[in-house]
Chains A and B, each alone.
Chain A
Amino acid sequence: GENVEQHPSTLSVQEGDSAVIKCTYSDSASNYFPWYKQELGKRPQLIIDIRSNVGEKKDQRIAVTLNKTAKHFSLHITETQPEDSAVYFCAAVSSGSARQLTFGSGTQLTVLP
């Protein structure tokens, strides 16, 4: 099955700086990689995703990069704001018969004003 490792577990940045969260996956057949943001006491929400046929995707201040050879993908947040503070989860889904999302352990991002 798929195994997803996520680092770091906690990350503190100054407002306006960039934040980078990295994930690795084990199943080379994985082809879909979403990122979720979970604010305190709220549900996880999909913020960006990438498919294995592209290497990078951007949406305003958020970008995700994918390196299929190295089996890792990263979330980049630029010009961070206090409202970016949350737990971020990466996930991967394999192309096998059990096509469910396997999640990383999460990164607590704190943006300091």
Chain B
Amino acid sequence: ETGVTQTPRHLVMGMTNKKSLKCEQHLGHNAMYWYKQSAKKPLELMFVYSLEERVENNSVPSRFSPECPNSSHLFLHLHTLQPEDSALYLCASSQDLTPNYGYTFGSGTRLTVV
């Protein structure tokens, strides 16, 4: 266990459902990230939080809504998703916004939208 835990590991949801992904880190890091990983595509940065403040939103559709209640927890709220949103959603953390020691990733949530 690397210290970044994501739940659930797998999620199947209909296009009208509302669900949330959870990420928790026990590393004392101050920055947390959501990435989307689709087949044969680069990791796509979705959101960046530093000390619970959102510092980056890479033109992500509003059907994805992040929440960072404290520096250890990060959520991604999902509603009215589309089938093309099916992907692996990875959470990561770093000591701060200067990633000179790389990111620590969680195991991801495999999302399937039906």
Residues on A lying within 8 angstroms of B by beta carbon are: 4, 9, 32, 34, 36, 42-46, 49, 51, 89, 93, 98-106
Q: Mark B37-77, 1 if CB is under 8 A from A, else 0.
A: 00011110100100000001000000000000000000000
Alpha-carbon distance A9/B39, docked complex (angstroms)? 12
Least distance between A1 CB and chain B CB atoms (Å)? 10
The answer on a CB contact under 8 Å between A42 and B107 is: yes
Q: Is the CB of A51 within 8 A of B100?
A: yes
| Chain A neighbourhood of B105, CB < 8 A | 36, 43-45
Given A42-B107, A43-B90, A43-B107, are A89 and B43 also a contact pair (CB < 8 Å)?
yes
- Complex CA distance for A17 and B107, rounded to whole angstroms: 30
On B, residues with C-beta under 8 Å from A are 2, 4, 33, 40-43, 45, 48, 56, 90, 97-108
A-B pairs with CB below 8 Å: how many?
Answer: 55
B104 proximity list for chain A (CB < 8 A)? 46
**Apart from the given pairs A36-B102, A43-B4, A43-B108, 9 other A-B contacts in the complex at a CB distance below 8 Å:** A9-B40, A32-B99, A36-B105, A43-B2, A43-B106, A100-B99, A101-B102, A103-B43, A106-B40
Secondary structure at the B interface, as helix, strand, loop or mixed, is loop
Measured CB to CB, the closest approach of chain A to B62, in angstroms, equals 21
Other-chain residue from A4, A89, A93 in contact with B99 (beta carbon distance below 8 A): A93
A100, B33: Cβ atoms closer than 8 Å:
yes
Decide: A44 and B99 in contact? CB cutoff 8 A: no
Residues from chain A with a CB closer than 8 A to the CB of B40 are: 9, 105-106
* Complex Cα spacing A93 to B99, Å: 8
Query: How far is B106's CA from A42's CA once the two chains are assembled, in angstroms?
Result: 9
7 pairs of residues in contact across A and B, judged by CB atoms under 8 Å? A4-B42, A43-B2, A43-B4, A89-B43, A99-B99, A100-B45, A106-B42
